[in-house]
Amino acid sequence: MELPVISNTAESGGGGCSSHSCGSTADQLNQIPDEILQKVFNHPCYSEDAHHHFARMHVAVAPACNIQCNYCNRKYDCANESRPGVVSELLTPDQAAKKTLVVASEIPQMSVLGIAGPGDPLANPERTFATFQMLSEHAPDIKLCVSTNGLMLPQSVDEIAKHNIDHVTITINCVDPDVGAKIYPWIFWNNKRIKGREGAAILIEQQQKGLEACIAKGVLVKVNSVMIPGVNDEHLKEVSRVVKSKGAFLHNVMPLIAEAEHGTYYGLTGQRGPTQDELQALQDACAGDMNMMRHCRQCRADAVGLLGEDRGAEFTLDKIAEYELDLEGAAARRAEVRDRIAAELEEKRNAKAAAPAPKLVALDMSGLATKEALRPVKMAVATSGGGVINQHFGHAKEFLVYEASEKGVRFLGHRKTDLYCSGGDTCGDADTTLQQTVKTLEGCEVVLCSKIGYEPWGMLEEAGIAPNGEHAMEGIEDAVMAVYAEMAAAGKLVAPVEAPAQSAA
C-alpha cells in the first residue's frame, strides 16, 4: 500500500510560502492580498509569525464606556479584550505619549501602539486622538491601532484616517438584535440610555456602518467576537460570514471569561465559558468563511511587551518621569531591529520553501487497519518565544497547542495556566496548581518542553499525556511533526483491526 507523506506545514488552500503564510496557521492570513500582508507582517496582534518577534503596547487613556456588556465589570479591564484585572494606571494623553516613547526606546522590537480601554476609546475621542496625534508626530514608524465596540465608529472614521490609524478592531458579537439583547443590557445613545433589543439594534447598525466606512477609507479591520455558549455560539458563524462580506480581513473568536470572582453579570449568574473543544470547533466552522486568528491573548488594556508577557511594571510613571528621550536614536535602533527580524523571517521562509520533500513514514502495518487515515494528535508546547521549545514545564504560564496530522501542523491556540514552579531546577509541592495545569492540558496527548520534573512527569502520564523533553531548542513545528512521525511508526495512530468472530464448531 502507499505510505502516508507527512510534512511539517499544514495545507493552506493554495496560500503557501508565496502568500507569506509559512509558519502561520493554515487558515490565518493565507488568503489575504499581498498589500495587506505587507501592512501586518510586523503586527503581533494580526500575524501569528510576528507575535513571536515583535512587541506591542496598550495605553489606558479611555476610562468611559457607552455600552454595558454582560461579560464586563466596570471595575476591571473589559473581559472581551483584556485579562480581568484593574489597569495599573489611567493615563493622560501626555503621560501616554511619554510612556510609549520610553517603551519604544527600551524595547526596540516594539512595532504597535494600541488604545483598547479600559472603557471604549471612541467614547473618549478627545483623549484618544490627542494621544494618537502626539505619537504620529514623534514616532511615525510605530503602527497605531484602536479597538472599539463600534457604537461611535461611523462618526470617527475620518479622524481615524487623519491620524494614519490603519488598523481597527471592532468587537461584534452578533448581527441579530434578539441575540444582542441577551448580551447588552443597554447602550448610551444620543444622551439616552436605551435598553434591550432596541439598544442592541442601534449598536449592530452602527457597527456595520463603521466597518463599511473603515474599509472604504482603506483601514484594515479585524473583528473580535466573544463566544458565549447557548447565547451566540451558533450565531457567530453568521457573524463571520457577514463581516467578511463587508471587508473585514481577520476574525478573532475568543472564549467568554466568566469566573464569578470577576464580578460580571455572566459570572454571577453561572453562565459558563466554552470548552477548548467547543472553541476550536467554532473557529474551524468560521474558518470556511473567514481568516481566523488563533493566537490572541486577550491582553490587558495597559499591556507591554510580546504577546503572552507583560512588562508594564518596568515602566510606571515614576520610573519614566525623568527619562531622557533620544527620539532619533531610538527610531534608528527600532529600524535596525525590525530589519534584522524581517531578514531572519525571510530566511526561515526561504529555507522552508527550499527544504527537501518530507520523508515517508514507514509503518508496521501488521494488525492495523491499513485503509484508515492516521488520526490527528494535539500536542502542547512550553515556549518563551522565538518559535522554539525553550521553556521548563514548571516555568510555563501558558502552553501553545498544535494539531499534527498527515497534512502537517496547525496552531490551535494557547491555554493559560498558573505558575507552580517559582524558579530553579526543581519545583515545589503546589499540588493544587499542578493538578490544575494538568487539567488545562486535557485533550493533548503530548507535552513538549525543554525540561520537566519528576512529579509533573508522573501526573501527566497518569492523565494519559506523554511528557517529552527530547526536543529542547528545536523549532516547534519540526519537533511536533517528528513526534507525530514517531507515534505513526509505532502504530499509535491507526486503530487495530478487530479479529473476526469465530463461528461455533
Q: Of the ranges 2-11, 61-70, 345-354, which one carries the lowest mean pLDDT score? A: 2-11
Mean pLDDT, rounded, for 150-157: 98
408: left (phi over 0), alpha (psi -120 to 50) or beta: left
Q: 43 is written with which cell numbers? A: 503586527
Positive/negative CA dihedral, 363, 366, 369, 371: positive
Q: Looking at the DSSP assignment, which residues form a beta bridge with residue 360?
A: 5
Residue with cell 514623534: 138
pLDDT of the residue at 1: 34
Q: What is the pLDDT of residues 169-180, one digit of tens each?
A: 999 999 999 999
CA 274 to chain centre: 16
CA–CA dist 116, 131 (Å, integer) = 13
pTM of the entire predicted model: 0.72
pLDDT of the residue at 41: 55
Average pLDDT over the chain, rounded to whole?
80
Comparing CA positions, the residue from 254, 210, 194, 250 lying closest to residue 228 is 254
Q: For residue 396, how many C-alpha atoms fall within 13 Å in the half-sphere facing its CB?
A: 31
Provide CB contacts within 8 A for 285, sequence distance 6+: 237
3-state secondary structure of 225: strand
DSSP E strands in 55-142: the ranges are: 55-58, 67-68, 110-115
Q: What is the pLDDT of residues 66-93, one digit of tens each?
A: 999 999 876 645 544 444 334 667 899 9
CA 115, 116, 120: angle at the middle one, nearest 5?
110
> pLDDT grade, residue 22 (50/70/90)?
very low
Task: Answer yes or no: are the C-beta atoms of 173 and 196 closer than 8 Å.
Answer: no
Dihedral in degrees, nearest 10, Cα atoms 317, 319, 322, 324: -110
Q: Is 371 exposed, middle or buried (0-12, 13-18, 19+ CB in 10 A)?
A: exposed
Burial 270-294 (b: 16+ CB within 10 A, else e): ebebbebeebbebbebbbebbbbbb
pLDDT of the residue at 362: 44
Q: What is the pLDDT of residues 374-433, one digit of tens each?
A: 899 999 999 987 789 999 999 888 899 999 998 889 888 888 886 555 444 444 444 578
> pLDDT grade, residue 504 (50/70/90)?
very low
Q: Give 375-443 as a DSSP string.
A: PPEEEEE--SSTTB---BGGG-SEEEEEEEETTEEEEEEEEE------SSSS----HHHHHHHHHHTTT
Strands 55-58 and 398-405, bridge-based pairing: unpaired
Q: Looking at the DSSP assignment, which residues form a beta bridge with residue 118?
A: 62
* Better-predicted residue by pLDDT, 157 or 323: 157
CA–CA dist 400, 472 (Å, integer) = 15
CA 445 to chain centre: 22
> pLDDT grade, residue 484 (50/70/90)?
very high
Mean pLDDT, rounded, for 479-505: 73
* Better-predicted residue by pLDDT, 297 or 94: 94
Task: Answer yes or no: are the C-beta atoms of 475 and 408 closer than 8 Å.
Answer: no
Q: 295 is written with which cell numbers? A: 493566537
How distant, in Å, are the alpha carbons of 133, 159, 217, 257, 331 from that of 141? 13, 19, 20, 34, 8
Q: What percent of the chain has pLDDT over 90?
A: 48
pLDDT higher than threshold 90 for residue 358: no
* Complete domains list, the chain, with CATH: 31-328 (3.20.20.70), 363-504 (3.30.420.130)
CA–CA dist 370, 363 (Å, integer) = 10
Comparing CA positions, the residue from 163, 475, 142 lying closest to residue 338 is 142
> pLDDT grade, residue 302 (50/70/90)?
low
Omega before 118 cis (within 30°)? Answer: yes
Which value, in Å, is the radius of gyration of the alpha carbons in the chain? Answer: 24
pLDDT of the residue at 423: 45
Q: Is 431 exposed, middle or buried (0-12, 13-18, 19+ CB in 10 A)?
A: exposed
pLDDT higher than threshold 50 for residue 361: no
pLDDT of the residue at 158: 95
Task: Answer yes or no: are the C-beta atoms of 85 and 257 closer than 8 Å.
Answer: no
pLDDT of the residue at 35: 57
Mean pLDDT, rounded, for 484-500: 76
Q: 183 is written with which cell numbers? A: 448580551
Q: What is the pLDDT of residues 457-483, one digit of tens each?
A: 999 999 999 999 999 999 999 999 999
Mean pLDDT, rounded, for 339-355: 80
pLDDT of the residue at 3: 37
Q: SS3 for 33-65, per residue?
A: CHHHHHHHCCCCCCCCCHHHCCEEEECCCECCC
How distant, in Å, are the alpha carbons of 31, 105, 112, 132, 171 from that of 165? 23, 21, 11, 8, 17
pLDDT higher than threshold 50 for residue 185: yes
pLDDT higher than threshold 50 for residue 346: yes
Q: What is the pLDDT of residues 418-463, one digit of tens each?
A: 655 544 444 444 457 888 899 889 999 999 999 999 999 999 999 9
3-state secondary structure of 112: strand
* Better-predicted residue by pLDDT, 148 or 9: 148
The pair phi, psi for residue 121, each rounded to 5°, is: -55, -35
